[in-house]
Copies of this chain bind each other. A is one copy, B any other.
Amino acid sequence: MPRTDSKTELTPPANERPPMFSRILVANRGEIALRVIRACKELGIETVAVYSEADAGAIYLQYADKSICIGPAPAAKSYLDIARIISTAEITDVQAIHPGYGFLAENSHFAEVCRSCNIQFIGPSPEASRAVGDKVRARALAIELGIPVSPGSDKPVADEKEAVRIAHEIGFPVMIKAAAGGGGRGMRVARNDVSLVSNLYAAQAEAQAAFKDPSVYIEKLVEHPRHVEIQVLGDEYGNLVHLGERDCTTQRRHQKLVEESPSPVLTEDLRRRMGECAVRFARAARYTNAGTVEFLVDDDGNFFFMEMNARIQVEHPVTEMVTGIDLVKEQIRIAAGRPLGYRQEDVRLRGAAIECRINAEDSMDGFRPSPGLIRRFILPGGLGVRVDTHAHAGYTIPPTYDSMIGKLIVHRPSREEALLTMRRALEEFVVEGVQTTIPFFLDLFSNAQFLSSDIDTNFVETYLGKRG
């Protein structure tokens, strides 16, 4: 846990330090809204919470100093409506807006509107956000900086002939990806010429259907990949540090389910090299505030840049536990113009932290969302257990938004102990009234392959396939 009294290299003169915000608007809902309110309370900053009619009466709103209804349930008319949020910021006279994650968090236009209204957006500048948000530009920047990326066509392939040429250049197996893509649509794997050609057309058709753009490009497939991401923090004075990694290999349909820090597969040397790449990338993009650089890591310890996320992530608590650093407070301090106050060598990782996302989904029935009234809600507790949730007995989960109702985080001296603590915490966690992912996690935390972390990003689907 770095203390704020250590010296930094780059700081503004003491008499030029801007004052801390006195009031912040929280432009989000649910657990991340509560997370930001908690940070503000501890910093002595007043909060304005906004909410849609679907969230009216939620208890977490009462922890804010003021809460304002901004629209009806659909996010487009409430949490995604820039005008309504800025208007609320103006009538409540806040100095800054924290966007949380999702909704407007990575919308660089929103960040620009904030700037034009003289309201501090708590996140990177619109320019940095745009620079890292454009996948093609980001990949080009990584290549320019000498950061490893998986070899590929770098731009849409014109035809079958070009595709085959590139595939031979980089070697099979390859991944065909929609240029406009995301969420796995338009993605195909090819292991030889024949499958390349047939999958090329299939992927183009899928891409056309999903994104109205048939462009696809080709990348070398990283086999048995692990998803490992590096948390970075940068202030307004060019100080940049990384806070180690989060291993998010346990995913289902590109949705993270379990995150841990440290990664069970990173060596100290690999951590250092990946951290350096992440910081180099952030520095080149003139990135400030909290951000995450995502990599794939293969069986041989090679790592490949994927993208940078310009927001606080759902899984930020595991980094908080192992570093002792409150990431949301750091975001606010940085946005207020405060220097970081510590250097890379002051950051120490201690113990092992694991997070499970507790979703109101029926893991026995294809993870179908299960909104509704929570009749009984008994949280696990005790040594090493942290819970971040806005839910409680009597809370009704609206069907309108995402299904996450909380995060269960454990922190123990070793991964082995953390796994045991997580299992007993999951056993204690009682939710009645809605289905949750707890039974899934209870299974998972008894699975030998998972416990030994002998997994890749396909593990959960394979596992569920076997189980089902």
Chain A interface residues toward B at CB < 8 A: 1-3, 34-35, 38, 41-44, 59, 63, 317, 320, 324, 326, 350-351, 376-379, 381-389, 392-394, 412-414, 417, 420-421, 423-424, 427-428, 430
Contacts and interface: CB of A to CB of B under 8 A. Distances in A.
Contacts of A385: 386
A219 to B, nearest CB: 37
A35 B388 contact: no
Given A59-B378, A386-B381, A414 B41 contact: no
A379 B379 CA distance: 8
Given A1-B413, A324-B413, A379-B381, A41 B427 contact: yes
Given A393-B377, A428-B63, A1 B42 contact: no
Contacts of A414: 3
26 contacts: A1-B350, A1-B413, A3-B413, A38-B382, A38-B428, A41-B427, A42-B424, A59-B378, A59-B430, A63-B427, A63-B428, A317-B383, A320-B383, A326-B384, A350-B350, A376-B392, A377-B393, A378-B392, A379-B387, A381-B388, A381-B389, A385-B386, A386-B386, A392-B393, A392-B430, A393-B394
A331 to B, nearest CB: 13
B388 A376 contact: no
Contacts of A392: 376, 378, 393, 430
Contacts of A427: 41, 63
Q: Tell which of A43, A388, A393 has the most Cβ of chain B within 10 Å.
A: A393
B388 A386 contact: no
Contacts of A387: 379, 381
A43 B421 CA distance: 10
Contacts of A417: 42
Main SS of the interface on chain A? mixed
Nearest to A37: B424
User: How many copies of this protein are present in the complex?
Assistant: 2
Contacts of A376: 392-394
Given A386-B381, A394-B376, A413-B324, A42 B3 contact: no
A384 B320 CA distance: 9
B3 A326 contact: no
Nearest to A5: B414
Contacts of A320: 383
A35 to B, nearest CB: 6
Closest 3 CB pairs of A and B: A1-B413, A41-B424, A393-B393
A112 B401 CA distance: 60
A376 B43 CA distance: 28
A41 B419 CA distance: 12
Given A63-B428, A424-B42, A35 B382 contact: yes
Q: Tell which of A350, A378, A413 has the most Cβ of chain B within 10 Å.
A: A378
Nearest to A380: B38
Contacts of A38: 382-383, 424, 428
Contacts of A34: 382
A381 B34 CA distance: 10
A460 B222 CA distance: 64
A381 B381 CA distance: 10
A176 to B, nearest CB: 42
Given A376-B393, A379-B381, 5 more contacts: A1-B351, A1-B412, A324-B413, A378-B392, A393-B394
Contacts of A382: 34-35, 38, 386, 388
Nearest to A327: B383
Contact of A326 (B35, B379, B383, B386): B383
